[in-house]
Amino acid sequence: MAKTLYLMRHAQSVEKQAGQSDLDRELTPVGEKETFRMGAYLHREKINPDVIYTSSAVRAHATAKLLSDVIKFDVERIIPDEELAQASVRTFLEFITQLDDAYTSVMCIGHNPVISYVAEYLTGAEIGTLPTAGLVAMKLRVDSWQKADKACADVIFTISPAAIEGEQE
């Protein structure tokens, strides 16, 4: 069975403060609104992945949790992963190829530029730089995550909070 992958960049976060770890940056109020808007869109489109993997960075994990509230997603199926917090493209691709084939639909929430680069690698499409809370949905033309490789997927859609008009906040 073909696989569906959603790659999402975390929502807008505060600037790094002196002495603060980059991983500890929190969402801004704008980031919370971005996430709500994206969640409302996903809920309306009935997009509900089997599992959400997120970077363990505070801003990415907060994006995942807020998104799950809006789409009525079981928070027990959000899996933070330290490897995704500072992953290279190679590490991120290895992560994808090790996903459990029981999952047909997976969302990964991480950081740019890696999220955008991985989306471009898998689809062969020009994605550009995803804005905060931007998302790329793709259908992989493979029946196992282990076979995920260069240009093995087709873009279903890309969406950003700014592209979604008229959502209630």
Confidence (pTM): 0.92
pLDDT attached to residue 146? 97
Classify domain 3-12+25-162 by CATH number.
3.40.50.1240
pLDDT digits (tens, 9 = 90+) for 39-67: 999 999 999 999 999 999 988 999 999 99
Residue of 33, 4, 18, 30 whose CA lies nearest to 104: 4
CA dist., res. 57 & res. 27, Å (int)? 11
Write down the domain spans for the chain.
Answer: 3-12+25-162
pLDDT tens by residue, 68-104: 999 999 999 999 999 999 899 999 999 999 999 999 9
What percent of the chain clears pLDDT 70, i.e. is strictly above it?
91
